[in-house]
Amino acid sequence: MLGRYIFERGEEKEMEFKGYPEYSSRQPLILKYCLKRPVETYPDDIGIVYRNDAGEYFRFTWRQWHERTCQQAHALKALGVKPGGPFEPGDRVGTMALNHHRHIENIWASVLTGAVSHPINMRLSMDHMAYTITHAEDKVIFFDDSILPLVEALYDRIKDTVKTFVYMSDKPGLPKTKVQPLYEFEELIKQYPKTYDWPDFSEDTYAVLYYTTGTTGLPKGIMFTHRQVMLHVLYGFASMAFRVRRPDDPEPPNENIPMMNIPLFHIHAWGQPFSLVTAASKIVFPGRFSPEAFCQMVQEDKVTSAGMVPTMLAMLLEYPDIDKYDLSSLIAIGTGGGALPLGLKQKAEKKFPLMRAGSGYGMTETLAGVLGSTIRRNMVDWPQEKIDEIMVKTGVAGMGIQVRVVDENGKDVPHDNQAIGEIILRGHWIMERYFKEPERSATAWRDGWFHTGDAAKVDTDGYIIIADRITDVIRSASEMVPTVLLENLTCNADFVLEAAYVGVPDEKWGEIPMALVKRVPGTKQTEEDIMKHLQTEGVDKGKITKWMLPSYVLFTDDIPRTSVGKFDKIAIRKRINEFVSKAKQVRKI
């Protein structure tokens, strides 16, 4: 390769420079460089902790974890998994597994060899699971022992696509099953070397594949390149330098010890497998989330941070034995997958005085988070009540992301905390296209912007507040009723744990609001108390108008949810007659 050498007297000559510019200004952004820090800097520190359902702990140093990842890479090659390149994805490696060491090893082994990691959402319907596996053309599937019945139920529908299955278990041996050919994970990898010469390749090589939850039709697949994942990791670290702290905020620890509760199939747990390994954080895997396991692991491993959907946080606050555990190490909880109600945040921080909770926003199409709640320097002396209101907003764009909220004509909505528009995005790790779906891709990408389908408003400080999915807004007469606003207001009541709002069909108004409310255990407040709260905290304070008040209120613990814990508004609407028949009519219009 020719490079240009400039002599001191100004004379220029062409000379050959081996490796230039490929390994200087054009060195590819590939994920193998993220693996270097924990393995080279902290090889003998515990890097991965896993607790299974039986309460058994498995602990691995970074050296041990890396050796196992290398063995998996050799195994993938032996199974015939081929790497890809730009615009030609490598073979897809599917996983049907909980959060544990084998799962994250598999993700890294797949992407570092040039293949594509595809964690499969096991909470989808059988039809949708079969569709994602065959649509992705998964060549091999690694699955947990507890998932065997599900794999057997799917087998006849996927056996022509999937060439090999690998059984992962904490116990030795293979089960008797029709699933073939089947390998035992630990027996498979132990025969291979504990080192691997991770290859170089184009940064535009695809690394990961996720599918949406399919709430509006068949799930949609999205692939992300090494470059996109790398930039998400690097910009995330850069953003930390701009984080504003208040005087009473807990001191950040020298070593963050995060618990990864978000399933790895849910946009790779918000990108954590890559960012946390790069940071050499000690990663704690609970396997299957439960309040008891969460509390035990926080106490045992001094967990400092956790990611949760709001439902998990609500479950934790409901747990009757929570005060038996020392949870003082926990100083930060990040929430996503749904808006963080102000009331839930305040209840959590009252229970954990040293903890701070905040919210963020992302979707499958954005790889991980793109907006986040954060305070600015001029806000550090604000009263706690105003800070809380900031921290439950959807927030502002992170570094590397551009965001707008536009009306139906593509014009930016005014920053008046009133006008509702659609969030549109572009940036380094926004999806390029839907996998094998050019028409859907063209619909989502218009005028150079990705259209999210999420409705929002912008306040006078420029903070975005999610109002709804465009499809979930209640349309009453000519007005739009944002359900997220009503849900947050309702959750501010001391006796409310969660709330979901949907529109009930009405001949006169088109739709009228109904509230499905889950009370804090042991509380006895009535439907009228809900209305009083909304009147005093919402209408009287100008946050909502009177016509937004619900016509029906139902107290229930049976609020349908999607596979990732969000309120499933489609499922609720399918059962609308059932819910209305059980609800109390609290207002006639």
Q: What is the CATH number of domain 289-469?
A: 3.40.50.12780
Contacts of 158 (CB under 8 A, 6+ apart): 130, 133, 134, 138, 141
Spacing of C-alpha 464 from chain mean position:
19
pLDDT at position 321 over 50: yes
Q: Is the dihedral of CA 342, 343, 346, 351 positive or negative?
A: negative
Residue 288: Cβ-neighbour burial (10 angstroms; 0-12, 13-18, 19+): middle
Token pair listed for 351: 């229970």
pLDDT at position 412 over 50: yes
Q: Where exactly are the structural domains of the chain?
A: 289-469, 474-585
Whether the CB-CB separation of 207 and 31 falls below 8 Å is answered with: yes
Radius of gyration (Cα) for the chain, nearest Å?
A: 25
- The vertex-533 CA angle with 393 and 321, nearest 5°, equals 75
What is the per-residue pLDDT for 10? 46
pLDDT at position 70 over 70: yes
Distance CA 97, CA 144 (A): 5
Which band of pLDDT confidence, cut at 50, 70 and 90, is reported for residue 563? low
Distance CA 246, CA 380 (A): 5
Lowest mean per-residue pLDDT among 59-73, 94-108, 243-257, 423-437: 243-257
Lowest mean per-residue pLDDT among 232-246, 297-311, 337-351, 451-465: 337-351
Q: pTM for the complete prediction?
A: 0.81
pLDDT at position 574 over 90: no
- The pairs formed by 291-297 with CB atoms below 8 angstroms and a separation of 24 or more are 291/315, 291/316, 291/318, 291/319, 291/322, 292/319, 292/321, 293/51, 294/259, 294/261, 295/319, 295/321, 295/322, 295/324, 295/325, 295/327, 296/51, 296/55, 296/325, 297/49, 297/51, 297/259
Token pair listed for 323: 């005060």
Whether the CB-CB separation of 274 and 32 falls below 8 Å is answered with: no
The residue that leads in pLDDT, 450 or 28, is 450
Sequence-ordered strand ranges (E) for 470-568: 474-476, 479-481, 496-506, 510-519, 552-555
Backbone phi, psi, residue 486, to 5°? -65, -40
What is the per-residue pLDDT for 538? 87
What is the per-residue pLDDT for 74? 98
Residue 213: Cβ-neighbour burial (10 angstroms; 0-12, 13-18, 19+): buried
Whether the CB-CB separation of 174 and 167 falls below 8 Å is answered with: yes
Nearest alpha carbon to residue 236 among 256, 207, 251, 222 = 256
What is the per-residue pLDDT for 477? 55
Token pair listed for 300: 């045992």
Structure confidence by residue, pLDDT tens digits, 116-131: 999 999 988 899 999 9
Sequence-ordered strand ranges (E) for 316-375: 332-335, 356-362, 369-372
| Mean pLDDT, range 127-146, rounded to an integer | 96
Average pLDDT, the chain: 89
Lowest mean per-residue pLDDT among 173-182, 333-342, 401-410: 333-342
Q: Cis (ω within 30 of 0) for the bond into 21?
A: yes
Structure confidence by residue, pLDDT tens digits, 1-60: 334 433 344 444 454 555 556 666 778 899 999 998 999 999 999 999 999 999 999 999
Which of 150-173 are b and which e, b meaning 16 or more Cβ less than 10 Å from the residue's Cβ?
A: bbeebbeebeebbebbbbbbeeee
The residue that leads in pLDDT, 200 or 6, is 200
Lowest mean per-residue pLDDT among 56-70, 100-114, 376-390: 376-390
Contacts of 219 (CB under 8 A, 6+ apart): 121, 124, 128, 131, 132, 211, 212, 213
Beta-bridge partner residues of 183:
166
Among 200-209, 267-276, 334-343, the range of highest mean pLDDT: 200-209
Distance CA 68, CA 473 (A): 48
Distance CA 206, CA 221 (A): 13
Structure confidence by residue, pLDDT tens digits, 285-302: 998 899 999 999 999 999
Report how many helices (DSSP H) and strands (DSSP E) the chain contains, helices first. Answer: 17, 29
Angle between helices 342-351 and 384-391 in degrees, nearest 10: 120
Whether the CB-CB separation of 89 and 82 falls below 8 Å is answered with: no
Task: Provide the 8-state DSSP code for 251.
Answer: P
What is the per-residue pLDDT for 42? 97
Distance CA 412, CA 423 (A): 10
Which band of pLDDT confidence, cut at 50, 70 and 90, is reported for residue 541? confident
Whether the CB-CB separation of 183 and 165 falls below 8 Å is answered with: yes
| Mean pLDDT, range 189-212, rounded to an integer | 96
Beta-bridge partner residues of 567:
561
Nearest alpha carbon to residue 292 among 311, 320, 328, 269 = 320
Count other C-beta atoms under 10 Å from residue 351's C-beta. Answer: 13
H-run or E-run covering 307:
strand 305-308
Q: Is the dihedral of CA 435, 438, 440, 445 positive or negative?
A: positive
Q: What percent of the chain has pLDDT over 70?
A: 93
For residue 322, give the amino acid letter: I
Spacing of C-alpha 574 from chain mean position:
26
Token pair listed for 543: 């946050």
| Mean pLDDT, range 225-244, rounded to an integer | 92
Q: Regarding the domain with residue range 474-585, which homologous superfamily does it belong to in the CATH classification?
A: ANL, C-terminal domain (3.30.300.30)
What is the per-residue pLDDT for 23? 66
Lowest mean per-residue pLDDT among 64-73, 245-254, 362-371: 245-254
pLDDT at position 512 over 70: yes
Which of 90-106 are b and which e, b meaning 16 or more Cβ less than 10 Å from the residue's Cβ?
A: bbbbbbbbbbbbbbbbb
3-state secondary structure 254-285: CCCCEEECCCCCCHHHHHHHHHHHHCCCCEEE
- The runs of H, that is alpha helices, within 138-193 are 148-158, 185-189
Which band of pLDDT confidence, cut at 50, 70 and 90, is reported for residue 573? confident
What is the per-residue pLDDT for 564? 64
- The vertex-285 CA angle with 282 and 287, nearest 5°, equals 175
